[in-house]
Each structure stands twice: as structure tokens, then as C-alpha cells.
Amino acid sequence: MLDDRKLAVLRAIVEDYVSTNEPVGSRALVERHNLDVSPATIRNDMAVLEEQGYIVQPHTSAGRIPTDKGYRLFVDKLSAIKPFSTAERRAIETFLAGAYDLDDVVMRTVRLLAQLTRQVAVVQYPSLSKSAVRHVELVPLVERRLLVVLITDTGRVEQRVVDVPTSYDEDSIMHLRAVLNACLDGRKLTDIATIVADLPGRVDPRERPNAAAVFSVILETLVERHEEKVIVGGASNLTAADFSQGLREVLEALEEQVVLMRLLGETEDQTSVTVRIGAENDVLGLRTASVVATGYGSADRPLAKLGVVGPTRMDYPTAMGAVRAVARYTGQILAES
């Protein structure tokens, strides 16, 4: 129902519109791309494409612009992810390799992504539920107060203060720490719930109340509330991409952790790059925005998601290339440490 030429026309419209930000007409189309037909022919094709909902004209006497559906077809069938040159890859690699810290890796990643795509970059911290425990530390604060510090094998450190019901001494802390480390070391956080359940049997009855308090805090902090932070960068790029709807809405949405989580979370597939266009991401206020996202981390050990947010009028091939490349290297860097 759409022959090759019509698809070529759609592709051309998307490409031109993305680069010029102006509705594209039949004449300009035959000139810029070497379609060996007359403008009138193109017009007929465009009429069909419009009828099918792939393009619209904003005003009666203007060129056409792609609809969400048009972009969708473009992304699915008409374009290929733009691979990065080896020089670019090397630049990415060295930029990320300079990081000395988990925080720093994430910071650099978000900056890099924002710079490469000239869009807003969104990076989720490595997820707790996917990582394993490396060490648990208990630090006495004041009377009846402990600081629980949990170190994961992705280098992430989680902390939480806990009030324990009875006072403790150094020995009991030592013991509790030893038990915890023996049981938890190397275990995935997702497994911990079941492990903790039978832990109390291992400690001195006198210590049970305190132990229970610590256990429940660990559970609560790390399993129930898998706080997965998201950081955002490159917000200034939004000013260039004049959003049809208010820029305010977009900025607001980007400040809501929950919204961002959902945006990235909807990326089902871990390894491939997902694109959600316009209304496809059912976040109010991002109706005219697209999200290009993917997971990072090795295939057997997915860590989290990252991506970019921009106007639907976005250079998808490049954005997808950048997201894929950055995800790859960030995953690699994190795997090493």
C-alpha cells in the first residue's frame, strides 16, 4: 500500500524537517534529494501519505511535517542507527575512563550523552536490585543508634541510620556485623529478603531485638525502597529545540524522579535501543517529546537504563547511535571496577 517511492518521500520529509525545522514542500523535496520525478508526482504521494496519517500540513498552504506515526515508521523501517566512527568511540572511551568514582562515572555519562546528542540526557544509577552485596558495615553513632552502611559490587554505597530498641556494646556489634557479612556477602539484593528471614536464628537471643531492627532496616532500605536515582543533564539544550507546547511542562516533567523512572522503565528490552515518540510515552507534558533509551551493563548483568529526551523532531539515527555507544562504554567501565 505504500510503494518504495512513497517511503522514500516520507524518509526525505523526516530528514529535511529534522534538519531545517520547516515544513517541507514538494519542490524542495525533488531538489534536495534526487528523486527523478516531478513535484506533481510527489504531491500525489504526499496526499496519500497524509491520508494515511504519516504527515500533516500545519497550514493549508504550507509544506508537510511528519506526525508521530510518520516518525514511528521512519524509525522502524526507514533508518538505521548511525554508527560512530572509531575516533568518536575513542573519544567517548577516554572521556569516561577518566572517572574515579561511581558518581563521577554517572556524571560524565550524562554530560557526554547530552553533548553528543545536543538533547537532554537522563541516566539512571545502577540498580540495587540487580547488584550483589559486597560488604555490610555497622557503625555505632550515639546510644541506641547505628549507622548501617551497605556496599555493593557496583561500588555503590547505601547508608541508613537505625534506632535500635536496646543499648548495645562493641562485642554485640562485632558479632552482628560478622553474621551479616557471612550471610550476605556476594548475594544479590533480590535474594536477600529470603535470607534475612531466617537470620534471627543465628544470633544470641539477647541480641534479637537489635538484630531485628537492623534486619528490617536493611530490608526496607534495599529491597522495598530500591531507590534508583536518576540524574539529568543538558537541560539548556531544551531552549534550542523550541517545543510547541510549553517548555515549562517539559522542565517540570524532568524534575520528577518518578516520571523519569517511568520513562526509562518502559524500555522493556535491555540491550536494544528503544524509541518512544510523542504521545507514546503517556506522560502528560511530554506529548511533543521523544525518548531514546536503552539499558546498560553486560547482558548477563543489566545495571540500569539511560537515554535522551528531546522534541519529536529529533535526529533519531544519531541519537540512537549515541545512546547505544555511551551505554556500551559506560557498562564496560562499570564492569571493570
Partner DNA sequence: CTTGGCACTCGGGCTACCCGAGTGCCAGGG
Partner DNA sequence: CCCTGGCACTCGGGTAGCCCGAGTGCCAAG
Q: List contacts with DNA (CB under 7 A).
A: 5, 23-28, 36-41, 43-44, 46-47, 50, 57, 59-64
Tell me the closest approach of the beta carbon of residue 139 to a copy of itself, in angstroms: 5
Tell me the closest approach of the beta carbon of residue 54 to DNA, in angstroms: 13
Nearer to a copy of itself, 48 or 247 (CB): 247
Of residues 93, 137, 266, 280, which one binds a copy of itself by CB under 8 A? 137
The entry of DNA, a copy of itself, none that residue 188 binds, CB within 5 to 8 Å by partner kind: none
In terms of Cβ atoms closer than 10 Å to its own Cβ (0-12, 13-18, 19+), residue 58 is: exposed
Distance between start and end Cα atoms, the chain:
53
Nearer to a copy of itself, 139 or 193 (CB): 139
| Cell matching residue 52 | 494515511
Tell me the closest approach of the beta carbon of residue 134 to a copy of itself, in angstroms: 7
- At residue 227, φ and ψ (nearest 5 deg) are -65, 110
Q: Rounded to the nearest 10 degrees, what angle do helices 170-184 and 208-218 cross at? A: 40
Tell me the closest approach of the beta carbon of residue 140 to a copy of itself, in angstroms: 9
Cα(130)–Cα(305) distance, rounded to whole angstroms? 12
C-alpha distances in Å from residue 76, one per residue of 69, 80, 81, 219, 309: 10, 9, 10, 42, 18
Nearer to DNA, 60 or 239 (CB): 60
Tell me the closest approach of the beta carbon of residue 18 to DNA, in angstroms: 16
Cα(150)–Cα(136) distance, rounded to whole angstroms? 5
List the beta strands (DSSP E) in 183-288: 230-233, 274-277
Q: What is the dihedral of CA 257, 260, 265, 269, to 10 degrees?
A: -140
Site string (95-114) toward a copy of itself, x via CB under 8 A? -----xxx------------
Binding to a copy of itself (CB under 8 A) within 153-182 occurs at 155, 157, 159-161
Q: Which residues bind to a copy of itself, rule: CB under 8 A?
A: 100-102, 134-135, 137, 139, 141, 147, 149, 151, 155, 157, 159-161, 233-236, 238-240, 246-248, 251-252, 254-255, 337
